[in-house]
Structure 1
Amino acid sequence: MSKLLLGAIFSSVLIGLTSVSQSQVLPEVAPPPKSTIPTQTQPSKTPDATPSNSTITTPTQVPEAPSATTPDLTLLSKAVGVFWQSDRTETNSQMIIRGEQQGVKIEMSAQVKTIAQIGNKFQTQLVFTPVGSTPKATYTIVSNGRDVWIYRPDRRQYAKTTFDAFRSGADWLWTGISSSMFLTISAADRQEMLSVLGTDRDIIKSIPPSQYKDLVGSQRQVDGQDFYNYSYNFKAEGFIFDVLVQPQTATVQRIEFNGKVDGMNISLSEQIISRKPQVKISKRTFEFTPPRGVKKVKAIDIELFK
């Protein structure tokens, strides 16, 4: 149980982030001349996560966290219980992707709305936008638990793949970091975890320190709000994973990745605008029917820039 409690939070995201780091996050550019970066809701100043043609504003730069300490496992236990309290959820969020390579910096915003259900089922509406510009690419991604469809309406194309193939690729995280984490756990593991958390509030005391030696905790303030920050260092992969939790409600409010791979600095963050458990789901939510005149292609890669 102790491994499930901690491992469920981090395992799936590592797959997606590693795949993203190996894909072309930045456009190819020539080297620069030597002479010459339970419902939970964010504050009202956060932009609406519903895809639109409105301009995206860059969130306030997050300050560095203060010195870290032994993590608060009691709060972590509560946060895990809140996060997986339901077998389904609807999440609206804004992801910010920053990259730097060979002196060239890019910054993209992804507006994400995902309805997810345990059992690998989800529907995602995804819009990429260069910060301060208009939407450049829109996608619909649907999974029925076995198959995944990716639809690109502006090109009137769609592709079909298996869930396993989709999950092992670079596009997995664009369902939303939090939603990909939510989908990681099986229905049986979710029930076991909630059962243990509900009957044994001191379960966290049995977790050996060796199982969270790379997990640290600290108080952190972002945009005037106080959070508890859990930071996990994937030392072998070169990534640091941060989860910001609202202490009073034990809700996850922000998730961040920072790392460097093959000379590329990568920063990926998700700000959760709203997250609703027990959302109503229709029979068609996890089904995809191609619109008339739409062509099926072999594959569709989710592109940030076009």
Structure 2
Amino acid sequence: MMNTLLLQSNMNFLQTVVTIFGVTATISGVCSTVYAQLPQIEQAQTSYPLKQETVSQLEEKLDLSLLANTVTNFLRSESYQTQSEMEISMTAPGLSLKYLVEIETFTQAPDKFRSEITFLPSFESSTPVNYTVVADGSQIWIYRPDLQQYAVTNSADFSEMFLTGFSSLIFLEFSASIRESFPEAEITHENIVDLIEVTLKSNNFQSNDPNLNSGKQTVQDKEYYIYEYTVPEEELLFKAFVDPETAILNQLQFALKDEESNFVFTEQIVQRIANPLITADTFSFSPPQGAIMVESLSIRPF
């Protein structure tokens, strides 16, 4: 009973605001479903190559050139189609939970997206749970087919953007801010290097907290170059796994702690296509026949 009360008090709508290079992302919502009376659950091993590391093992000098190439590649186009897999894991005393999510998202800078989100079967649901989320730049529609329900909210109030994929979220945030930095010029390797150097000289990176580290790691026989950003006072760890040969971002991970609970959000980018086919209907939503509008609709795995 003590553990139940502890988790219920600590897990009610976990919301952590993460600022990386001046870009703010919000992680919220999913963890509110976890309670201590559930039995310890272990999912089958997945293809995700990362394991959480609470202490950085990266000590190499920051490779600014590779980072600039990665950012340039990441932002080269104004629209993308991204297929990814996300693992959401939580551990606490006597408890271990995992949710697996498949995501396909179309994004168009600066603020439009369409995402198909599928929670794979878990201990709470024997069948997949699907959502469609559409943003036209001002409003966001959330639709759940099995319930025949949909809700409408504005972009500022949408707190579950991370479930469309961290890569898509960061693309929309970064694309807008970086393109504003170069309004009259293309995004180039040289421009990005200059921007990174200015950022690293800012007050946020002149102190010991937070820290930016990098280095090579081999995971499942594949070598990655990892950029790691830590905010010790918030017990936050962010990792970006980059293919050093192609400067392509392969994977993102956020790890954070809340009281006695540990959370790890890992997104593996399966495929990312620049300039996909986008139609007039891609970023619009028309309620299917029989669908009922509700006041709010949370994106959750059951």
Which TM bucket (shorter chain)? 0.7 to 0.9
Residues 83-115 of structure 1 show CA distances to partners (whole Å, capped at 9, x for unaligned) of 000111010000001111231111110000000
Report the CA distance shift for 1:138/1:156 in structure 2 as closer, same or farther (over 3 A): same
CA distance in 1, matches of 2:48, 2:278: 34
Report the CA distance shift for 1:224/1:164 in structure 2 as closer, same or farther (over 3 A): same
Equivalent residue for 1:287, pick from 265, 284, 287: 284
Q: What is the TM-score when the length of structure 2 is the normalising length?
A: 0.80
Equivalent residue for 1:239, pick from 217, 226, 236: 236
What's 2:13 paired with? none
What's 1:178 paired with? 167
Q: CA RMSD in A?
A: 2.8
User: Retained in 2: the 8 A contact 1:66–1:219?
Assistant: no
Report the CA distance shift for 1:152/1:202 in structure 2 as closer, same or farther (over 3 A): closer
CA distance in 2, matches of 1:244, 1:156: 38
Q: Which has the higher contact order (CA 8 A, sep 6+)?
A: 1
What's 2:9 paired with? none
Report the CA distance shift for 1:217/1:11 in structure 2 as closer, same or farther (over 3 A): same
CA distance in 1, matches of 2:284, 2:203: 43
What's 1:266 paired with? 263
Q: Within the alignment, does 1:80 sit opposite 2:87 as a pair? A: no
What's 1:24 paired with? 31
Give unpaired runs (5+ residues) of structure 2.
1-18
Equivalent residue for 2:219, pick from 216, 219, 222: 222
User: Retained in 2: the 8 A contact 1:10–1:181?
Assistant: no
Equivalent residue for 1:208, pick from 201, 213, 222: 201
Equivalent residue for 2:152, pick from 160, 166, 178: 160
Q: Give the C-alpha shift of residue 29 in structure 1.
A: 3.2
What's 1:100 paired with? 91
CA distance in 2, matches of 1:208, 1:299: 43
Among all aligned residue pairs of Structure 1 and Structure 2, give the percentage whose two residues are the same amino acid. 28
SS in 1 for 2:170: helix
What's 2:14 paired with? none
User: Retained in 2: the 8 A contact 1:101–1:264?
Assistant: yes
CA distance in 2, matches of 1:8, 1:27: 28
Q: Give the C-alpha shift of residue 264 in structure 1.
A: 1.5
User: Retained in 2: the 8 A contact 1:32–1:102?
Assistant: no
Q: Give the C-alpha shift of residue 61 in structure 1.
A: 5.0
CA distance in 1, matches of 2:69, 2:258: 34
Equivalent residue for 2:142, pick from 150, 158, 171: 150
Residues 250-280 of structure 1 show CA distances to partners (whole Å, capped at 9, x for unaligned) of 1100001112113211011000000011112
Give unpaired runs (5+ residues) of structure 1.
1-6, 38-54
User: Retained in 1: the 8 A contact 2:90–2:96?
Assistant: yes
CA distance in 2, matches of 1:56, 1:126: 21
Q: 1:75 is aligned with what amino acid?
A: L
Report the CA distance shift for 1:165/1:247 in structure 2 as closer, same or farther (over 3 A): same
